[in-house]
Amino acid sequence: MTKLYEKLIKSCPSENEIKDGLRNVYSSIPEAPDKHLLMSILSVIDLTSLNTTDNKSIIIHLTGKVNSFQGRFNNIPNVAAICVFPNFVPFVKEKLTAKNVKIAAVAGAFPASQTFRSIKIAECKMAIEAGADEVDIVIPVGAFLGNDYSLVAEEILEIKESIGDKRLKVIVESGLLGDYEKIFNASMIAMDAGADFIKTSTGKTNISATPEAAFVMCKAISDFYNETAIKVGFKAAGGIVTAADALVYYHIVKHCLGSEWLNSDFFRIGASRLANNILSEIAGERHEHF
C-alpha cells in the first residue's frame, strides 16, 4: 500500500469549488432529457433489494422481472446488476438468464461493518463462491473517524485480495463522515487500497447520497486517475428515486470525469424504485415492471 492518500488529501476541493462546480453541473442538465440519456441511466442501475423482510421468493421474483425485461422492452437496455444480501446470491445465480446483468452482493458485515475482520473476509469470499460478480462493502466508519486510517486501508486491501479479480465497491458512508475533507480522504484510502468503485452510501443512514458528496468523490477519482492512470468507478446510492435525482449524478460524473466514465464499468446508481420511474419516462406511460 502506497499511502498515496497522504499526498493527495491536500487537493480536496474547497466549499466554494464544490458550489461552483455543482452550479455548472445543474446548468448542464436538460429540462427534458431525451430517451437515449434516460436509457443510459437505466443501464447503470444496480437494482437493489436489501430489506429485512427479503426472502427466497421475493428475490426469485425480482430476478424473474430482470429476466423478462428484454422480452417486453427489446429496444431498452436492462439494468446493470441485481444487488442482494449474500445469502440470496445462490438463488439469483440459479435463476438469472438475462445477458450482461451482474450479480452484486453487499457483504463484510453490511451495513455497520462492525465485526471481526476475519468474518468480513469470509463473508465476501463466500458471496463470490456462491456466484456474485461484485461485492459492496462498507469502510469501518468508526475506525476511520478515530483516525485509524491504517486499519481501514488494511481491511480493504485484505478483502480485495480475498475476492481476486472480482469487482469491489467500497462504501464510504459519506453522510456519517461530517465534512468534505473526510469524504475525500476516505475515498483516497479506499482507492489506494484497491477499490474498483467508491460508493456514497448504504442507504441505511439518515443522510445518504448528496450531490456535494458525489462531487467530492468524483474529484478524488479524477485526482487518483491523474496520479496513477487507474480508473476507479463511482456509485451513488441511497435516496435516488426520480429521473431528476439520477440526472444530477450522471452529470456530476460527466463534469468531473468525462464521458469515458458514463457506462456500467465505471458508473452505477444503486436504487430500488428508480428503475420503474426511468422506464416510465422512457415509455411515456407508467410501468411497474421491476
Active-site positions? 136, 199, 235
Question: 159 and 120 in contact (C-beta within 8 Å)?
Answer: yes
Peptide bond into 111 cis (omega under 30): yes
Written as nine digits, the cell of 121 is 473476509
CA nearest 83: which of 99, 65, 111, 103?
103
**Sign of the CA dihedral running 43, 175, 253, 184:** negative
